[in-house]
Amino acid sequence: MSAFLAQLRQWARTLKRQTMTLWFCYRHPQAPWLPKWIAIVVVAYALSPIDLIPDFIPVLGYLDDVILLPVGIWLALRLMPPAVLAECEAKARQWQENDGKRPVNKIAAVLIVLVWAGALVGAWCMLHGAFKSG
């Protein structure tokens, strides 16, 4: 069991470093627009203090953390030019070695709250309309 926990910790550190690599990539002036925008979306979501799918929802709550986030990171890293990626990986490694403070994306948090608010308003309108016509 402790080997599994050690692997899980290593995976989490790698994911954290890759997220920071993307953070440096999207700020890099030579990053092409497509991987830059994918990196922006992934980093905004990863650094948001609020999840799109809250963790307390069984199974789905961790789906974004275990599947969607790693797939987004993989795609953005794969599309990034090797020179930009190498430079940004070095910056992320240095950031991690210096125990850098994790940035927080409050704009993404606000957008996620707005998505949930819109979904709740939409559900209320649908239910309210269903009760009126029935």
Q: What is the pLDDT of residues 24-52, one digit of tens each?
A: 999 999 999 999 999 988 888 887 766 76
Helix/strand/coil for 105: coil
pLDDT at 105: 62
- Alpha carbon distance 110, 105 (integer Å): 9
Residue 129, domain extent: 2-133
The burial class, CB within 10 Å (0-12 / 13-18 / 19+), for 52 is middle
Q: Phi first, then psi: what are they for 100, rounded to 5°? A: -60, 150
Number of domains the chain is built from: 1
- Alpha carbon distance 79, 114 (integer Å): 30
Higher local confidence (pLDDT), 101 or 30: 30
pLDDT at 28: 95
CA atoms within 13 A on the CB side of 104: 6
Q: Tell if the pTM clears 0.85, that is, is over it.
A: no
In this predicted structure, the answer to whether residue 104 has a pLDDT above a threshold of 70 is: no
28: Cα separation from own chain's centroid = 18
Q: What is the pLDDT of residues 79-90, one digit of tens each?
A: 999 999 999 999
